[in-house]
Amino acid sequence: MTDAGLVVANPAYGGDPVYAKNFTTGAYHGTVVWSWQLAMMAKGLEYQLDRCARNPNSSRPEFCTDDLVYSNVKTAYNALWDSIEQNSQQLSSEVWSWVYKDGKFAVTPLGVLPPPDGAAQTVHNPILQDHKPYV
């Protein structure tokens, strides 16, 4: 989790240096923030927490009675929502990027950062790609 949102495609989890080279903050499928994944993660965490609240003690999932795990899920849920609210101006965007500045992850539009070496900055909006002049 960052100040800019939940980052995806983190090359730190891959063992091959090619990941760090290609999953940059300037790549459409790189180390960026996707609004739909924020929504998906928020709903998933909410669903898990609701399983603890709705079910009687006898049928609650095990993690509900593990104070440490339950607390971590709740903390993650609240941190995610704090980030979503902090970045509410971005939520109608499909994807955005970030730069690290003054000790924080600052939101930056994806298109202003250079793409990875050898990659072109491409348009991924199907409306723009399929647009034909109306005659």
pTM of the model: 0.77
Provide the pLDDT for residue 124.
53
Give pLDDT tens digits along the chain (135 positions).
899 999 988 888 888 888 888 888 988 888 999 999 999 999 999 999 999 988 676 788 899 999 999 999 999 999 999 999 999 999 999 999 999 999 999 999 988 888 777 566 554 544 444 444 444
CA pair distance 124, 29, nearest whole angstrom: 10
The half-sphere exposure of 108 on its side-chain side, counting CA atoms within 13 A, is: 19
Domain ranges of the chain: 11-129
What's the Cα-to-Cα distance from 1 to each of 20, 31, 85, 105, rounded to whole Å? 18, 12, 13, 10
- Counted residue by residue, the chain has a size of 135
Q: How many CB atoms lie within 10 A of CB 4?
A: 23
Q: Distance between alpha carbon 41 and the CA centroid of its chain, in Å?
A: 8
